[in-house]
């Protein structure tokens, strides 16, 4: 194998590693975005008021105190 071929192989491996790294960070970003979305869900999508936790049938849901309806 010539040095030139070795270099190309190394470059290919490097690109593969880079792709896996990118995928890892993409997944990581997705998790962060989902967490942020959960946080955003704590506000009423209709009026923007902070939601309150309400217990209903043993389950805790978040409702808007102004709209009086469960947030999705
Ligand atoms: Zn509301």
Distance 60 CA to ligand 1 centre (A): 17
Give the Cα separation of 16 and 23 in Å (integer): 11
pLDDT of amino acid 43 = 85
pLDDT at 41 over 80: no
Write the CB contacts of 1 (distance below 8 Å, at least 6 apart in sequence).
9
Distance 30 CA to ligand 1 centre (A): 27
What is the rounded average pLDDT of the residues 55-68?
87
Give the Cα separation of 35 and 28 in Å (integer): 11
Distance 36 CA to ligand 1 centre (A): 19
Distance 9 CA to ligand 1 centre (A): 58
Distance 33 CA to ligand 1 centre (A): 23
pLDDT tens digits, residue range 10-31?
999 899 999 999 999 999 998 8
pLDDT of amino acid 40 = 55
pTM value?
A: 0.38
What is the band of 42 on the pLDDT scale with cuts at 50, 70, 90? Answer: confident
């Amino acid at each position: 194998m010539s040095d030139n071929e070795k270099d190309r192989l190394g470059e290919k491996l490097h690109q593969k590693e880079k792709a896996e790294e990118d995928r890892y960070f993409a997944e990581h970003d997705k998790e962060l975005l989902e967490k942020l979305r959960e946080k955003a869900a704590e506000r009423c999508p209709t009026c923007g008021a902070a939601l309150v936790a309400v217990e209903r049938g043993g389950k805790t849901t978040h409702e808007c105190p102004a709209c009086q309806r469960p947030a999705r």
